[in-house]
A = this chain, B = another copy of it.
Amino acid sequence: MARNGTDGATVGSDETLFAIIEQLRERDGAGVTELAAGLGLAKSSVHKHLRTMVEHGYAVNRDGTYHVGLEFFRAGEYARDRYDIYHAAKDPVDDLAAETGEMAWLIVEENGRAMYLYGSRGDAGVSVEAIVGTWRHLHVNSGGKAILAHLPDDEVERILDAHGLPARTENTVTDRGELRAELDRIRERGYAVNRSEDLHGIHAIGAPVRHDGAVRGALAVAGAARRLARDDREADLAERLLTATDDVEVNLAYQ
């Protein structure tokens, strides 16, 4: 039915569903014909999926175009709230952003990828909203590297096997040996550094949040390379960052 060849054992209809969602997002809403053409499916098949989704709130038909529905928002809020580190880190991240005047982030790992769970920015601005809720490879940002550095070795290997080390900029670490060496340095130093490895002109430092001997996520401070590159600035930010992660760990300990 679906075009999956040797996936192991997955449900093709589910994959079609996910593909429709993806298309709805990419096209910012679309009609049945457009979706069917884009996915190489029959109009009737797409229609049946959409009807099912609408019935459950996962899609809406607004003025003749289908859109991603707010049931996803409901499920998404639940998925985020499930992380107690989110509740423990919210205030510390806000404080960190206010103190430093830079952007501050909470990052967690799931299925070997990094997700920005929460963000705050000293001088307001909407740019935070564009990042929260997006995936990254763990190796391209400071928070992700901080997490990797404190994950069991075999899990790190599994993650690298599954997702590889694709480059985002010319500074991205793309070599396993190099990455492993850097993870050692991160463990010694206590925090990770990102020098334009994800986005040009953006530097960041990130530190892990640990609880019960396992990494639960990471906090990061990010800002313009020009400002963060100075050594004394890095030391100051690192100091404040580690204080913030301490706060989160305390919050986690006391629920």
Residues of B contacting A54 with CB < 8 Å?
Answer: 111
| Pick from B47, B52, B79: contact of A69, CB under 8 Å | B79
21 contacts between A and B (CB under 8 A): A10-B51, A10-B52, A10-B55, A11-B49, A13-B13, A15-B52, A18-B52, A18-B58, A60-B110, A67-B79, A67-B82, A69-B110, A69-B111, A70-B115, A72-B75, A73-B115, A74-B76, A74-B133, A74-B134, A75-B76, A76-B79
Scan residues 11-37 of chain A and give those whose CB is less than 8 A from a CB of chain B: 11, 13-15, 17-18, 21, 25, 28
Is A253 an interface residue, CB under 8 A from the partner? Answer: no
Is A181 an interface residue, CB under 8 A from the partner? Answer: no
Residues of B contacting A111 with CB < 8 Å?
Answer: 54, 57, 60, 69
Residues of B contacting A52 with CB < 8 Å?
Answer: 10-11, 14-15, 18
Is A56 an interface residue, CB under 8 A from the partner? Answer: yes
A78 touching B11 by the CB < 8 A rule? no
B74 touching A135 by the CB < 8 A rule? yes
Residues of A within 8 A of B (CB): 7-11, 13-15, 17-18, 21, 25, 28, 47-49, 51-58, 60, 67-70, 72-82, 87, 108, 110-111, 113, 115, 117, 126, 129, 132-135
Residues of B contacting A51 with CB < 8 Å?
Answer: 8-10
Cα A55 to Cα B14 with chains together (Å):
11
Cα A58 to Cα B58 with chains together (Å):
13
Residues of B contacting A113 with CB < 8 Å?
Answer: 57
Residues of B contacting A81 with CB < 8 Å?
Answer: 129
Residues of B contacting A60 with CB < 8 Å?
Answer: 110-111
A79 touching B87 by the CB < 8 A rule? no
